Amino acid sequence: MFAFNLFMRRGWGEFSFVVLSRLVSSLKEAESLSGEQDLGFLQTLLESKELNALVNVHSKVAKIGKDDRVAPLLSSSMQVALEVLEQLAPRCHISPLCKEVFHLLQTPHLQSLLCAHDSIAKKDFYPHLPEIPMEVDEDEETIKIVQLVKNNEALGATIKTDDETGKIVIARVMHGGAADRSGLIHVGDEVIEVNGINVEGKTPGDVLQILQNSEGTITFKLVPSDGKAGQRESKVRVRAHFDYDPDCDPYIPCKEAGQAFQRGDILHIVSQDDAFWWQARKEGDRNSRAGLIPSRNLQERRIIHERKQIESNSESKKGSCASICSTPPGSPNPNSCRGPKTKKIMYDVAENDDFDREMIATYEEVAKLYPRPGIFRPIILIGAPGVGRNELKRRLAARDPEKYRTPVPYTTRPIRTGEVPGREYIFIPRDKMEADIQAGKFIEHGEYKGHLYGTSAESVRSIVNVGCVCILSPHYQAIKALRTPQLKPFIIHVKPPAFEQLKASREAAHARSTFDETNSRGFTDEELMDMVKSAERINFLYGHFFDDEIENSDLGKAFERLVQLAQKSECEPLWAPATWVQ
Ligand SMILES: Nc1ncnc2c1ncn2[C@@H]1O[C@H](COP(=O)(O)OP(=O)(O)OP(=O)(O)O)[C@@H](O)[C@H]1O
């Protein structure tokens, strides 16, 4: 007893050989107080080489730990570096010093050093040693009694009936919730009593009722699980590619535990332990508890199931006039009476649409992409034909021709009078262009009136490599080919306003229809209507790829917004696919 009192008083920080030898001698004094077997065991342990070696190491570490000169000043130097980067990003052009610090702080070696420093400062020494196996009497069950004060906040844990034992167990503990913060309730703990009421044979619903009827302090009697407690938060961030509302989800285990989100939201996935229900919180919501969201696996299954249902419904309705809308909004109406389009068509829409429907958009892992000094992300303007992408692109290039450039397209058509090779087009023989298309050298291409047209990947790269911002306004189906880790484009959706506003703005500006080959008339109502529908459809199919959007109603305002977005893409760290940030 004396020995252990000593042990407690001194604490581990002062534990040394002196203490160890005093422990051994005090054991001898206490021989009469306890069983011989226990004392013999303790004496062997205290005199063992292993323990003495450990004490030796501990004493040295403890000594160094007391030296203030090597004590860390902070344990979040990486966070500080990121904040400095964020502050510096818009100021790089001010001085070469800013630029150099900005560049230095981004180097992987320095960032790794800061991360290593923080881990040591936090005493985050991995790997963790396995827990010491405890020999427990088989009949003896360890029980913990946990008391939590009930307030307006949810407990942040869910319960279920264990399939094998039929007992009530803790199914999940929501990160950051009351149960998690208590550090006392863990997944797999068996619930024996709630407020003195034995829950054996009860359903999770019954237990919930007990909890709901309780006021003030709630006492749980739990048998701890033998699994690992206190899982660390994962650092994964994803961009959601669909809207989610737990209130409308009949399968979520607990609606109150759900986390609603919208397409485009950045989510911090804090746990992926459960195959079907991840725990996540919206990025930036640091203090809120995490909520349940469907896992990628579950969401993919749902989408496949929904598609199958839609397909079988439309199969069974074949031949009848009414059909379920299995196509995205704004899909081309095969009965449309619009005349033949004279406009240049770069893609076979029908062929590519089937491919798009194959995509199952759930979550995309993202990371912050920091601006690189002197290398700008290409800006891609996507939008319905005629919406004004070229007009905006022209204005941006005219504002600063040294900075914003558009690649010169290639064509196989013969040169016309007044045209200068390399100015309007780069003229190229058909067999050469076909071979280059085959070799994947074109980021977009198409055929119009028997001639090929296209934009080469090399022309985009060469603009980027000379430190200019490349602006592109390709057909929307080129998104997938352009959204690569090499190009890292910033993609903006240029949207039309509602029909009335669209019509009024185009009429007021005497806008020329891009559907008329001679450019001699304004847009017809049908063309404007198609533009609105097409924008909805583009948003449905590709909305999750857009970094931002511009509503092109008032041209001046739309252009102002484009300038702001261009600056944002040049200066700010922005979320991008994680594969782009290596
Ligand atoms: N906000 C606006 N208000 C009025 N007129 C506009 C506006 N935006 C564009 N326009 C006009 O609409 C016409 C079509 O614009 P533009 O050529 O830029 O379309 P586009 O999206 O590039 O089309 P396409 O892809 O079919 O070539 C042009 O006459 C342009 O000046």
Question: What is the per-residue pLDDT across 5-34, written as a single tens digit (0 to 9) for each?
Answer: 333 333 444 456 677 777 777 777 766 655
d(CA 561, CA 553): 12
Q: Can you tell me which residue has the tokens 């189906």?
A: 477
Mean pLDDT by runs of 10 across the 582 residues of the chain is 35 58 74 66 81 84 72 85 88 84 89 88 65 53 76 79 87 82 83 89 87 82 71 83 93 88 93 89 80 92 84 62 34 35 40 50 92 91 95 95 94 92 93 94 87 92 93 88 91 97 96 85 95 95 93 97 96 93 78
Which backbone phi and psi does 381 adopt, to 5 degrees?
Answer: -100, 115
DSSP calls for 539-579: HHHHGGG-SEEEE-SSHHHHHHHHHHHHHHHHHS-EEEEGG
Which ligand 1 atom is nearest residue 343's CA?
A: 26
Residue 326: which region, alpha, beta or left (left: phi > 0; alpha: psi -120 to 50)? alpha
Q: Which residues' Cβ are closer than 6 Å to ligand 1?
A: 383, 385-391, 473, 505-506, 509, 511-512, 514, 552, 555, 558
CATH 3.40.50.300 for the 372-575 domain, yes or no:
yes
Which ligand 1 atom is nearest residue 512's CA?
A: 29
Name which of 568, 450, 579, 504 is nearest 86 in CA terms.
568
CB 463 within 8 A of CB 403: no
Pairing assessment for the beta strands 190-194 and 197-198 based on DSSP bridges: antiparallel
Q: Which residue type, as a one-letter code, is found at position 132?
A: I
Bridge partner residues of 574 (DSSP): 369
pLDDT at position 76 is 87
d(CA 287, CA 289): 7
CB 493 within 8 A of CB 476: no
Q: pLDDT of 288-311, one tens digit each?
A: 778 999 999 999 998 888 888 877
Closest Cα to atom 1 of ligand 1:
555
d(CA 546, CA 542): 7
Q: Which of the 8 DSSP states describes residue 36?
A: H
Ligand 1 pocket mutation pick from 514, 517, 538 by most atoms within 8 angstroms of CB: 514
Ligand 1 pocket mutation pick from 506, 512, 521 by most atoms within 8 angstroms of CB: 506
Q: Which contiguous run of DSSP H or E holds residue 223?
A: strand 217-223
Helices 2-10 & 17-29 angle (0-180, nearest 10)? 160
Closest Cα to atom 22 of ligand 1:
390
pLDDT at position 343 is 41
pLDDT at position 141 is 61
DSSP calls for 226-270: SS--SPPPP--EEEESS-B-GGG-TT-S-GGGB--B-TT-EEEEE
Burial group, residue 316, by CB count within 10 angstroms (0-12, 13-18, 19+): exposed
pLDDT at position 466 is 93
Pairing assessment for the beta strands 574-577 and 426-427 based on DSSP bridges: unpaired
pLDDT at position 357 is 46
pLDDT at position 273 is 83
Closest Cα to atom 10 of ligand 1:
388
Q: pLDDT of 236-245, one tens digit each?
A: 999 999 999 9
- CATH superfamily for 233-311+357-369 is SH3 Domains (2.30.30.40)
pLDDT at position 6 is 33
Burial group, residue 1, by CB count within 10 angstroms (0-12, 13-18, 19+): exposed
Confirm whether the ipTM is greater than 0.95: yes
Q: Can you tell me which residue has the tokens 């409308």?
A: 248
Kindly give the distance from the C-alpha atom of residue 385 to the centroid of ligand 1, in angstroms, as a whole number: 9
CATH 2.30.42.10 for the 144-223 domain, yes or no:
yes
Residues 6 or more apart whose Cβ sits within 8 Å of residue 212: none
d(CA 96, CA 311): 60
